[in-house]
Amino acid sequence: MYSEFDREVGEMRVEQERQARIDAARAELTKTGRDACECGATISPARRRAYPSATRCLECQEIVEKEAYLK
């Protein structure tokens, strides 16, 4: 059987892992992407507002998503 101490330590570890996942998700949301797409085109201001971490222009992103969908 587990002692009260073991249970408390386990609960603390679960909470620490949960908080780490929350912190990582928040950091990902606030991460900024680039001003220029991989193809060299400028990423539109509207796309940057909607998806700040964008690394591709809308046209390139559509191509990548279509290719992934067709696989």
pTM over 0.85: no
Residue positions counted in the chain:
71
pLDDT single digits (tens) 45-59? 899 889 888 889 999
pLDDT single digits (tens) 14-55? 999 999 999 988 877 666 667 889 899 999 989 988 988 888
Amino acid 32: pLDDT = 66
3-state secondary structure of 42: strand
Amino acid 26: pLDDT = 81
Q: How far apart are CA 22 and CA 11, in angstroms?
A: 17
Q: Where are the domains of the chain?
A: 1-30, 34-71
Amino acid 17: pLDDT = 96
